[in-house]
Structure 1
């Protein structure tokens, strides 16, 4: 299997008018309608929250809808603000090495990253589609008179006409969110997959490179290009990663509050409803943190690959300055950041879990008193 193609997630962004490289009249119309739909959904949800507010429980139930809407709005912000930068990232990916570079030595070693990524994206699409269908069909199956996207059980329903209008709007908004999330997240994961495969190819190249031709110089230049690519990607996604981190933390905290609302240990109905809710935010945070840790560790390992190769060959000493420069550069961790406040790694994940546990302990203490 070859490398995964960016067009797969971009197809979903194109449906909502946010393909970074396509700009026509019809896409501009979709680009205006999509944020308008989500903004309307947020307004309706906030009105429901404030008009029918009945304490912290209302906020907790509202978080099931509002946190997702908050994340989607930030995705729209990135797509609007960094459209040209994202287009350049996609265009620059053409400079990545092919898997058949260096006589095809990378095909087996590095190709599995793209194979796994392609399978992951297919599973991710199916999972998101099933969740969306379940979210839409739940109203029909259980004959609820409340439109799910904009109410949290605080009202007694609407007239049949208003209820139908809100349900149709709910369906449109839900599938808009589906395309934005799959397209945006898929594009991010594809960027990461390409970067990790390039880093792995660089490690292999520095281990096998010969000094009698220009392969070493080519590898040095490509190393600088990959590091620059990661830096440019971080400029696009850094603020979003921070907002994603914070929103997941709030989601976990609200989920823990709802889980322990009627005391500990929770009953079976609370566990079945809110443990998956908590796990979804936890897994989401863990996935992004693992990605950040892989980038840090793999890029740092390039220094060892350069250092432990070639010193037994006399030709290597003709490139000693280049080797030292590349080693020094690789020893400085290349990373994704959380809005400039910290690194995206497993340590940041432990901080989220620690803060959520502190909140959980605080809530239990209040309830016991």
Structure 2
């Protein structure tokens, strides 16, 4: 049986480690703090994330990355997108030369404008066929509660994708396979930005018509960017695109939507971050890198541009909305 090492004990890392265990996969989770690892081992609870969920007895935890990675055939990278490079640089020398690297991170790296699979390939020196990504409408709390959900595992090597599919398939977690890594990654990165925009609209006090328009036009934005990078447009109309977009833009469990609501209600970026209790709203940083990536390919993304300007250039959500509505009329 293949051992899986989940590197990161945040909300989604914890939820996915539970999924792997429930699927019968031997799993160890790496936590940055020893106290978290101890709690998981002794009380079967992560005290920092999803603390109301009882974790499987078989899930082991450690704060020693060498111990977590020893003998792991699957390495699940469950750290935020903007810290993935630093963390992976520390771990790379311990990862087995044939291990499959599965990214849960959703974002575009600041500065380099690399997708997460590209960062993994560069830092770990791994061939693209060893790198997979997971993306879909996957809110961590609902997964941890065992509520039915579906996801996409994308990898250029179909055999590895199928092996990962079998390693995490349960009665409540249904993974599909795909070879379109680019499409899955762009969908995962862009939806966080659009969710921030939806949250801002809710914070202002706007209703369902506005949210439906933002989601629909946001899908158009992410599809344009994905296709420009070489993705299949069908991927963005599936679970990793519209599915993830709807869940993240609609649910109060979404960190990005909740963060956007606070901004729309008039909170500063700093106070909204403080209210998030340390949990990362990926879209705050990704909006700038996604915007820069789109500009480098000549792709127009007005919603993403508006979110960037609110988060990083001092524009108010009300001003951003007014500017969007003043854009030139055009066919859909």
Structure with larger Rg: 1
TM-score (norm 1): 0.26
Larger strand fraction of residues = 2
TM-score (norm 2): 0.28
Highest RCO, 1 vs 2 (Cα 8 Å, sep ≥ 6): 1
Larger helix fraction of residues = 1
